[in-house]
A and B are shown apart, each in its own frame.
Chain A
């Protein structure tokens, strides 16, 4: 399996990363080295093995739906890169 620069460019957009044309080549070869390395997992026959998502026996943890205190608006907005009095500001979502 080998990733092309076009495929890496597509993955970059999916991952919301802007890559310059100069970066694309090195990232492609590094990602290919890693993908080829992890391909050794295919050697193992894992037919019928149940995937293990995490190591502890905890499933579906529920709590009562009780309303507690939440952050004050000012605290929530304190780290905003751009804001007004009441909310976060972002560039136009629709043209």
Chain B
């Protein structure tokens, strides 16, 4: 048990000294995945393929050939990242059986770094949701309390690390989908700046908001994985050609400045008192560490969720138009006219409509329709363009705040993990799970969630830290001040 609970860096140390091998590590984790099958963390886990990669790394190491910075380290992958020849479903029936013909850039980078790709993780369908309950393959259970959700949409990726099924994983964050599951699963999750990590090969949900990022137990592992996946990619025009610092080597440098902004709007109505108390304690930790604490207002915070639920569905309605049963994905076998009016539609159109209705789940349909409506003639100005103007206001709030402080802190999620089924009946209640995370996506800035407490019932609480665009280095350094002063990142759920 102590051996599977290794972090990536301790594992790398033991692999280097020859104390263990990548194959040994992979076998142990595969056995553990079998034991913990009930958590439903993986949509797809091919043991033979995992072992094959591990043996290849072991052979290279044994032969004295150069190996990458993640050589032999398992990394679990959210099931919306294309891996050549491996099933990639995006949590949807629409893509059941789909095997991409190419690797996402982050996957190529992981392979070049010697990582062992350790299965595809469960997620809300097309990354739409905050609980992983929207997966067509059943919900993932929270390793800390199996009656509760792991958050979402990257719930499988967060649970994989929390349950020590893989020391590292990748997720994606469009409105909080890395940070919120990280918070409620008691692990570290980072959404990098928009443009920091290539999105090539990420199955698109909302292209101006989506960003790929790491999950890990601690900040050292997070810095390691971030370094591997960051950088300009000619295949993604929105990836930015900014230098990639050595996040790991510089992690323990004291931050150049330590001005911490406490966001007034992140402690309003709906905040669980135990979460609120943990955040207050986090502020005291920074105070004791010599930080200047500044009260900050982000006045447009409350407009974040409404602006997001126009921008994201608008982009999703366009992105998901490609799933039409034509070139890949689900095609309905019977598309003969079924409901009134359909007999007037051409067969091709009926085929597309029937395929999409069978392939997509309810939340995806809701968002596609919402986006189609928000972009439709006569409504685009009132809804979509208005939302983009509000988006500018939200960005300006952050720009003004970062004139005064180096980092903003607050809760990641207003509540700890909620119970399965608790919010599925009410889409709006589910949307409010992302109230503190969503504005960072609209503004394009990086956000980090780190473990900062446990409730009396033993549920993890996450501290969110937000920083200016491309300030991941200082964001990690400032978070490290908290991690060094506390031991929340060492806590693990009690699993068999």
Contact B348 A92 (CB under 8 A): yes
Tell whether B27 is near chain A: CB-to-CB under 8 Å. Answer: no
B370-388 vs A: 1/0 string, CB under 8 Å? 1011001000001101111
Residues of B close to A40: CB separation below 8 A: 302-303, 306
Residues of A close to B10: CB separation below 8 A: none
Of B12-20, B157-165, B263-271, B438-446, which stretch is located at the interface? B438-446
Contact A50 B240 (CB under 8 A): no
Partner of A34, one of B309, B329, B342, B356: B309
- Nearest CB in chain B: distance from A35 CB, A: 8
B348-391 vs A: 1/0 string, CB under 8 Å? 11111110110010000110111011001000001101111111
Residue of A nearest to B98 (CB): A79
Task: Give chain B's interface residue range (CB within 8 Å of chain A).
Answer: 35 or more
Residues of A close to B469: CB separation below 8 A: 55-56
Tell whether B55 is near chain A: CB-to-CB under 8 Å. Answer: no
Residues of B close to A75: CB separation below 8 A: 101
A70-87 vs B: 1/0 string, CB under 8 Å? 010001101111100000
Give bound CA distance, A8 to B295, whole Å.
45
Tell whether B418 is near chain A: CB-to-CB under 8 Å. Answer: no
Contact A37 B428 (CB under 8 A): yes
Tell whether B331 is near chain A: CB-to-CB under 8 Å. Answer: yes
Contact B101 A51 (CB under 8 A): no
Tell whether B492 is near chain A: CB-to-CB under 8 Å. Answer: no
Q: A34-B428, A80-B328 are in contact. Are A52 and B395 (CB under 8 A)?
A: yes
Contact B234 A79 (CB under 8 A): no
Give bound CA distance, A12 to B193, whole Å.
35
Tell whether B393 is near chain A: CB-to-CB under 8 Å. Answer: yes
- Nearest CB in chain B: distance from A39 CB, A: 8
> Of residues A16, A31, A80, A88, which shows the largest number of chain B Cβ atoms within 10 Å of its Cβ?
A16
Partner of A44, one of B339, B393, B445: B393
Contact B348 A58 (CB under 8 A): no
Interface residues of B in 423-475 (CB under 8 A from A): 427-428, 442-445, 469
- Nearest CB in chain B: distance from A69 CB, A: 11
Contact B195 A19 (CB under 8 A): no
A20-34 vs B: 1/0 string, CB under 8 Å? 110000010011011
Task: Give chain A's interface residue range (CB within 8 Å of chain B).
Answer: 35 or more
Contact A27 B366 (CB under 8 A): yes
Partner of A58, one of B195, B324, B326, B395: B195
Contact B303 A55 (CB under 8 A): no
Partner of B307, one of A3, A41, A50: A41
Majority-rule SS of A interface residues = loop
- Nearest CB in chain A: distance from B296 CB, A: 19
Contact A16 B388 (CB under 8 A): no
Partner of A63, one of B234, B335, B353, B366: B234
Contact A15 B395 (CB under 8 A): no
Residue of B nearest to A94 (CB): B346
Residue of A nearest to B340 (CB): A21
Partner of A16, one of B349, B387, B392: B349
Give bound CA distance, A84 to B395, whole Å.
50
Residue of A nearest to B398 (CB): A55
Residue of A nearest to B432 (CB): A37
Residues of A close to B391: CB separation below 8 A: 51-52
Tell whether B194 is near chain A: CB-to-CB under 8 Å. Answer: yes
B328-350 vs A: 1/0 string, CB under 8 Å? 11110001001110100111111
Q: A15-B372, A17-B357, A31-B373 are in contact. Are A54 and B208 (CB under 8 A)?
A: yes
Q: A13-B353, A18-B356 are in contact. Are A90 and B326 (CB under 8 A)?
A: yes
Partner of B445, one of A27, A55, A92: A55
Contact B353 A16 (CB under 8 A): yes
Give bound CA distance, A37 to B305, whole Å.
9
Residues of B close to A76: CB separation below 8 A: 101, 327
Contact A42 B386 (CB under 8 A): yes
Contact A52 B356 (CB under 8 A): no
9 A-B residue pairings within 8 Å (CB atoms): A16-B321, A17-B356, A33-B428, A41-B310, A46-B389, A51-B392, A55-B443, A58-B240, A95-B347
User: What are the nearest 4 A-B pairs in CB distance?
Assistant: A55-B444, A51-B388, A81-B331, A79-B328
List the interface of chain B (C-beta within 8 A of A).
97-99, 101-102, 193-195, 208, 234, 237-238, 240, 300, 302-303, 305-307, 309-310, 317, 321, 324-331, 335, 338-340, 342, 345-354, 356-357, 360, 365-366, 368-370, 372-373, 376, 382-383, 385-393, 395, 427-428, 442-445, 469
